[in-house]
Amino acid sequence: MTVLDELTPHYAEILADLPDEFDSHRFILALARAYQPEFVRALHRYVDVQDRAVFRTLDGLIGKSLHDYADYLGDHDSPNIFGIKSKNARWRKRR
């Protein structure tokens, strides 16, 4: 079982509620809100990450997995789940 196995089955549902163009931060926040227990279990897999970047590690995995569901448009800055601006990917839904 991979870290994202409980989350990826819900990607289509989350994407359906987002605008045609969105960024990874917006997707991750929507996913975490809708599927909190699954998101927390995924985070827990990284509790022992040495640099303590538990959220950043999981966010990176989720962002990379979006390549299977949307088209990459480039990077930009937006607030992450903690409200801190950081670089992340912009996406366009596939039709």
Query: Domain residues of the chain, as ranges?
Result: 8-93
* Band (53; pLDDT cuts 50, 70, 90): confident
Q: 0.85 exceeded by the pTM?
A: yes
Q: What is the DSSP string of the chain?
A: --TTTTTGGGHHHHHHTS-SEEEHHHHHHHHHHHTHHHHHHHHHTTTT-TT--HHHHHHHHHHHHGGGTEEEEEEEEEE-TTS-EEEEEEEEE--
- What pLDDT, on a 0 to 100 scale, did the predictor assign at position 26? 96
- What pLDDT, on a 0 to 100 scale, did the predictor assign at position 49? 66
